[in-house]
């Protein structure tokens, strides 16, 4: 194992074991390097790598801190990597979304309140008035993100948000080339909200599955 990799593992162990808590400042560089038995240059490389994946936060003139380690923060790194996907992997991202999002929607159906249903209906009303495809797709993203945010599981919500990016172009493409896709999307969105309002998790999940599968099927045929 390279020295820098070993340093990364050692710092990771300190965080996982609780020696370093979220928000806590790391010991001074010379003391930490001595404690880990590595050079200061190797430590700097390890700190730089861990800051890129949001484990550490380097504050100029103040020191290096462990971040909050909240799921949405750590999954930002996943989203960054996903942005480098190849076009032929879009269907794989859609498959993952189809497997996970209906479960999040089912959980949302159990947790949802009348106020949250009203918020979803407001998003639907805004979408119906949109004429620009990109704005419509942005509204589509907001709709799904809002539902998933109601599921009560921040890790699941953050993971789904991180994998939604690669499907954006497919959504825009469909909006431009598939006549009637907007009306179909609005109908399917409305059906999902109806199931959520009734607090029917099985139907809500089924309608979400059909909705995502429709985009998958269209993309397979279009490709």
Same domain, 123 and 16: no
Model pLDDT, residue 200:
97
Geometric angle at alpha carbon 128, from 112 and 173, rounded to 5°: 100
Same domain, 52 and 156: no
How many folded domains does the chain comprise? 2
Same domain, 86 and 27: no
Same domain, 56 and 25: yes
Question: Could you read off the pLDDT tens digit of each residue along the chain, which spans 223 residues?
Answer: 577 788 888 888 888 888 889 899 999 989 988 888 888 888 889 898 888 878 889 998 888 999 887 776 666 666 555 555 555 677 888 888 999 999 999 999 999 999 999 999 999 999 876 668 888 888 888 999 999 999 999 889 988 888 876 666 667 667 667 777 888 899 999 999 999 999 999 999 999 999 999 888 888 887 6
Same domain, 16 and 121: no
φ and ψ at residue 82, rounded to 5 degrees: -60, -30
Nearest to 36 by CA among 57, 13, 54: 13
Rounded CA gap, 69 and 197, in Å?
34
Same domain, 78 and 103: yes
Model pLDDT, residue 166:
66
Same domain, 88 and 187: yes
Read off the CATH number of the domain in which 62 is found: 1.10.10.10
Read off the CATH number of the domain in which 193 is found: 1.20.120.530
Model pLDDT, residue 172:
63
Q: Structural domain of residue 156, as residue ranges?
A: 73-222
Rounded CA gap, 142 and 85, in Å?
22
Model pLDDT, residue 61:
83
Same domain, 21 and 101: no
CB 164 within 8 A of CB 144: yes
The DSSP code sequence of 112-155 is --HHHHHHHHHHHHHHHT--SHHHHHHHHHHHHHHHHHTTS-HH
Q: Quote the DSSP letter at residue 60.
A: T
Model pLDDT, residue 54:
81
Model pLDDT, residue 132:
81
Same domain, 137 and 53: no
């Amino acid at each position: 194992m390279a020295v820098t990799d070993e340093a990364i593992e050692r710092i990771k162990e300190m965080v996982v074991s609780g020696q370093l808590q979220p928000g806590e400042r790391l010991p001074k560089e010379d003391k930490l390097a001595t404690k880990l038995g590595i050079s200061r240059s190797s430590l700097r490389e390890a700190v730089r790598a861990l800051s890129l994946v949001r484990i550490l936060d380097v504050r100029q003139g103040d020191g290096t801190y462990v971040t909050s380690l909240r799921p949405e923060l750590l999954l930002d790194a996943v989203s960054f990597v996903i942005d480098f996907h190849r076009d032929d992997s879009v269907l794989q991202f859609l498959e993952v979304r189809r497997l996970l999002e209906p479960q999040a929607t089912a959980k949302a159906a159990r947790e949802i309140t009348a106020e949250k249903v009203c918020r979803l209906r407001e998003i639907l009303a805004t979408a119906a008035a949109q004429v620009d495809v990109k704005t419509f797709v942005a509204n589509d993203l907001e709709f799904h993100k809002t539902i998933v945010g109601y599921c009560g599981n921040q890790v699941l919500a953050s993971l789904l948000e991180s994998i939604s990016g690669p499907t954006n172009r497919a959504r825009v493409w469909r909006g431009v080339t598939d006549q009637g896709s907007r009306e179909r999307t609005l109908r399917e969105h409305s059906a999902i909200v109806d199931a959520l309002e009734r607090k029917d998790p099985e139907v809500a999940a089924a309608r979400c599955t059909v909705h995502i599968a429709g985009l998958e099927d269209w993309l397979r045929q279009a490709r």
